[in-house]
Amino acid sequence: QPVLTQPPSASGTPGQRVTISCSGSGSNIGTNSVNWYQQLPGTAPKLLIAANARPSGVPDRFSGSKSGTSASLAISGLQSEDEADYYCATWDDSLNGVIFGGGTKLTVL
């Protein structure tokens, strides 16, 4: 079982706003930066959000936030090309290692 908990699936219609949650604990999300990765079908993961900031080239429709021991990825103006798997990731001070969430499969209806 992944240390970071994500819903296995999420869905929305084009134009909608969707949020994906990532729940952790004080030893990981509570004290470390959270990053989000997008994995389009058949491709490698791509850094989407780094510590609530968007890397160059990532549309501003994507945003990240963190509160306590949970983090969220929000996608506004949902588009068909956003259909992908999304993973959160951070460091865990207790495990002393990098941890990933189990991933959320986003379907655009």
Give the residues lining the site for other proteins (CB under 8 A): 2, 32-35, 37, 43-47, 50-51, 55, 87, 89-91, 95, 97-103
* CA angle 11–17–23, rounded 5-degree value: 70
User: Of the two residues 15 and 57, which places its CB atom closer to other proteins in the complex?
Assistant: 57
Query: Quick check: helix, strand or coil at residue 11?
Result: strand
User: Of the two residues 18 and 37, which places its CB atom closer to other proteins in the complex?
Assistant: 37
| In the complex, minimum distance from the CB of residue 15 to other proteins, in angstroms, rounded to a whole number | 29
Phi, psi at 17, each rounded to 5°:
-105, 130
| In the complex, minimum distance from the CB of residue 23 to other proteins, in angstroms, rounded to a whole number | 15
User: Of the two residues 14 and 68, which places its CB atom closer to other proteins in the complex?
Assistant: 68
User: Of the two residues 13 and 96, which places its CB atom closer to other proteins in the complex?
Assistant: 96
Contact 66, 29 (CB under 8 A): yes
Provide the phi-psi class of 42: left if phi over 0, else alpha when psi is between -120 and 50, else beta: left
**Beta bridge partners of residue 65, listed in sequence order:** 72
| In the complex, minimum distance from the CB of residue 106 to other proteins, in angstroms, rounded to a whole number | 14
| In the complex, minimum distance from the CB of residue 2 to other proteins, in angstroms, rounded to a whole number | 7
Closest CA to 35 of 90, 96, 104: 90
